[in-house]
Amino acid sequence: MKQVIFFVIATLLMVILISCNHNSEIPMTVEEDATFEEEEIKFTIEQVIFSKSFQSTEPNVEIISNKNNVKILASLGLAEYSEVSINNIIKKGNVVNIHVSGIKGENPSLSVPQVIMELKELSNNKNNLSFNIVFDDYEQLKIKVGINDIINKIKSQFKITTNRLPSYSLLKGGNNIVWNIAYKGVFDRENPIIPLINLSTVIDANTGEIIESEKTIVSSSLDQGHLLDFMPENHLLYKKTISNNSEPEATNDQLWYIDSLNAEKTTLYTSDYKIQSAQFSFDKSYISLIETNEDKQNLYIISFEDKRVFKISFETNFNPRRMRWKDNDTLYLLGNDENTSTIYTYSVENNETKIINKLDRIFDNLVIEDNLFIVTEKLENEVNRNIYITSDWHGYKLIDKGFNVRFLSQDLIAYLKRNEKSDSNFLYIYDLKDDKIVKIIEGNISNFSLINKEELIYVNQNTNHADYTLIKYSIRDNTTEDITTIIGDRIYYDENNHTVYLNILLPFEDNKTEMIYSINLDKLNNN
């Protein structure tokens, strides 16, 4: 009997213990049955943008400012509307629901509508808010392959090289959405001559399938080398560095001429040292060349007709560093010692050198227009130089600070000026007669040249730092015209043939091969 009673008591105790353990595992909740009241939030719409960058096509809300009122950027997701409406904004607890509708209107197109708005009178805990976009009457369109994946696929599939983004858009036809992608002037590594091409493709935005594609060659690869001078109507001077057959590690510089119309190439001079610069005379009868060997520079004159080469001697120990043709016969030369600059002339007709002046300043460039001369004085730790003008090599007038100076006419000069605040180069036009700046063209201009007495062309680096815009400026009308966008800034422009000659390092070559391209602007811009 005692055993039975003991067994019953033990069983009851076990049931009680099990019951206690089960109850202790029930999670404890605070205000489990509490409900939050819905609160309608007042808002002000600041801006509506129908974005076509398509970097993200999914709905998203970003808090722009959280200081007083909350300012947000609501991306509503990919859709095909011409207008959108924010119906209302409802807050429940820490969740803010933004109710939206789309309006087809006229000419709807694919975009990601983005709404910048300010939310009024939000209660506390702004930092803990979460946002939902609620589609009342808004059809979001879905794609599986984003623009970054598409770009990677194209580069891999077509073996192109560029650091530029293509122009692109999303198009809808029936139930299909496709990427329309266009590249302009990119390297085609699949082709052994590595031309520049335009590439257009249509790709399914959900499967990634390439539906159609077209490559168009827009350039001719003229040669490897470094451009030195260009004369209108297809005359190019350039230098090539070649290996020495007897000493594989040694190299020689060669001066070459090419007629780009018939692609006829001619070797003009082979140097045992380095070719620093070369220039045509105005009538192209002669070519002047400066050769450098460590600290020593030599001047050579090449007769273009018979290709004879003459070394020019100077009475003093003169090292020419800069040269400019004044006319068909006279070449001006600028040389430097430690603290002085010397100006010489050389007459081709008389085969005579003449010292013009020796100056106690370090000038590093020389520009000539008839009997006016501009020299620039190097300043320590500055890109800009002091710009002086003289007519007799005795009196010098300071014009401004800048670099890369050119005469536009007897009365006008142009030059670049470094703007340290914006870290960019502006183009200045200065009136010598009125002694004042008459035009400042802002941007980040790396190069410019004169087309004629009334027009110049300049190269402006775009904000993406990946390409440049070639722009024509009318001096008389004070107007600009975009010519094209291009991958490099070292160019010569031939307006008559609507051609650009581009000198660029191949970005994918370990040995940094420098190429010279002739680019047909009609083909390049037809994209």
Same-domain pairing of 200 and 117: no
Residue 63 pLDDT exceeds 70:
yes
Q: Is the residue at 132 inside a domain? A: yes
Q: Is the residue at 277 inside a domain? A: no
Mean pLDDT of 191-202: 94
Residue 5 pLDDT exceeds 60:
no
Same-domain pairing of 74 and 127: yes
Mean pLDDT of 266-271: 96
Helices and strands: H and E segment counts in the chain: 3, 41
Q: Is the residue at 443 inside a domain? A: no
Domain edge (last residue) among 118, 137, 156: 137
- The pTM assigned to this predicted structure is 0.84
The whole-number pLDDT of residue 19 equals 42
Domain edge (last residue) among 171, 200, 217: 217
Mean pLDDT of 321-341: 95
The whole-number pLDDT of residue 262 equals 82
The whole-number pLDDT of residue 23 equals 34
The whole-number pLDDT of residue 18 equals 39
Q: Is the residue at 19 inside a domain? A: no
Same-domain pairing of 44 and 127: yes
Query: What band does 412 get if pLDDT is binned at 50, 70 and 90?
Result: very high
41 Rama class: left (phi>0) / alpha (psi -120 to 50) / beta:
beta
Same-domain pairing of 161 and 120: no
Instruction: Average the pLDDT over each of 141-150, 308-317, 408-417 and give the range with the smallest value.
Output: 308-317
What are 166-176's pLDDT values in tens digits?
A: 999 999 988 89
SS3 2: helix
Output 343 or 163, whichever has higher pLDDT: 343
Same-domain pairing of 68 and 48: yes
Same-domain pairing of 47 and 132: yes
The tokens describing 330, both together, are 């006279």
Same-domain pairing of 118 and 172: no
Mean pLDDT of 327-351: 95
Residue 339 pLDDT exceeds 90:
no
Query: What band does 337 get if pLDDT is binned at 50, 70 and 90?
Result: confident
Residue 480 pLDDT exceeds 80:
yes
Q: How far is CA 217 from CA 373, 438, 525, in A?
A: 44, 42, 12
Residue 209 pLDDT exceeds 50:
yes
Find the helix or strand (DSSP H, E) in which 171 lies.
strand 167-173
CA-based angle 284:285:289, to the nearest 5?
80
The tokens describing 445, both together, are 């201009």
Mean pLDDT of 408-415: 96
What are 374-383's pLDDT values in tens digits?
A: 999 999 899 9
CATH number at residue 157: 3.10.450
Same-domain pairing of 85 and 125: yes
CA-based angle 393:398:402, to the nearest 5?
110
Instruction: Average the pLDDT over each of 9-18, 66-75, 288-297, 366-375 and give the range with the smallest value.
Output: 9-18
Query: What band does 348 get if pLDDT is binned at 50, 70 and 90?
Result: very high
**Cα gap 242→440, rounded to integer Å:** 43
Cβ within 8 Å of residue 26, ≥6 positions away: none
| Length of the chain, in residues | 527
What are 216-255's pLDDT values in tens digits?
A: 999 999 999 999 999 987 799 999 998 876 676 778 899 9
Same-domain pairing of 107 and 195: no
**Cα gap 289→18, rounded to integer Å:** 103
Same-domain pairing of 88 and 112: yes
Q: Provide the number of structural domains found in the chain.
A: 2
Output 340 or 35, whichever has higher pLDDT: 340
Same-domain pairing of 76 and 167: no
Residue 3 pLDDT exceeds 60:
no
Q: Are 102 and 138 in contact (CB under 8 A)?
A: yes
**Cα gap 421→404, rounded to integer Å:** 20
Residue 468 pLDDT exceeds 50:
yes
Residue 365 CB neighbours (<10 A): 18
Q: Are 400 and 430 in contact (CB under 8 A)?
A: yes
pLDDT, mean over the chain: 90
**Cα gap 167→145, rounded to integer Å:** 17
Domain edge (last residue) among 137, 156, 173: 137
Q: Are 499 and 488 in contact (CB under 8 A)?
A: no
CA proximity to 484, closest of 443, 442, 521, 444: 521
How far does CA 167 lie from the centroid of its chain? 14
Domain that holds residue 193: 147-217
